[in-house]
Amino acid sequence: MSVSPLGPSAPDLSPDASPPAVSAPSVRAPTQAELLDFVRRTAADTGLIASLPLDPEGRTWVRLEGPGGSEAWLIGWPPGTGTGWHDHADSAGAFVTAAGELKENSLAARLPTDGWKTLELTEGVDRERRLPAGRGRSFGRHHVHEVLNESTDQHAVSVHAYHPPLPRIRRYSRTGQTLRLEQVERPEDWQ
């Protein structure tokens, strides 16, 4: 038996030995409150908000670096535009209106995550929020909503953050209380 000059517990440093395992520092996922704090602080950056090019015909966006590996976006909303009903799959998120006013319609119900095409929603699940500049909200995974700029003459600008970065977005159509899954988008579809 040979003993290493570094002591009996030292790793084998011979040319054939594998290097000792070194664990990378883990990054803690940001909480919903931290995502909301980030989007609020970013929305208060008037220089950044003013730098977003606005298009009268469609939404514009710029990707931002979010906290803790999150995905973030600065989005411009022409009058009368919206997202349609959608969710962010397994990502939690937050958004704040930086300029103008947005409206969020959402469902106060936990939907099944997969395996369905059509659902009948019960009465009382609809929620509506008006979000003027400086107001926003955070939300958990599988939150189904639509965001709208109902103004007829004013752009709105908002800041959004999601963690983990969006793995997919599910898009829905809605007629009355019937919600139908229409499409699943992946990051390559919007980046």
pTM over 0.85: no
Beta strand pairing call for 136-139 and 178-185: unpaired
Q: What is the pLDDT of residue 170?
A: 93
- Tell me the pLDDT of the chain (191 aa) as tens digits: 333 333 333 334 334 444 444 445 556 899 999 999 999 999 999 999 999 999 999 999 999 999 999 999 999 999 999 999 999 989 999 999 999 999 999 999 888 877 889 999 999 999 999 999 999 999 999 899 999 999 999 999 999 999 999 999 999 999 999 999 999 999 888 66
Cα–Cα separations (whole angstroms), residue 153 to 24, 58, 65, 93, 97: 51, 14, 30, 28, 17
Q: What CA dihedral angle connects 139, 63, 102 and 134, to 10 degrees?
A: 80
**pLDDT confidence of residue 92:** 96
Give DSSP secondary structure letters for 116-150. -SEEEPPTT-EEEEEEETT-EEEE-TT--EEEE--
* pLDDT of amino acid 136: 97
Helix (H, G, I), strand (E, B) or coil at 68: helix
- Give phi and psi for 130, each to the nearest 5: -95, 130
Q: Which phi and psi angles does 172 have, rounded to 5°? A: -125, 155
DSSP string, 20-41: PP-PPPPPPPPPHHHHHHHHHH
The reported pLDDT for the residue numbered 14 is 39
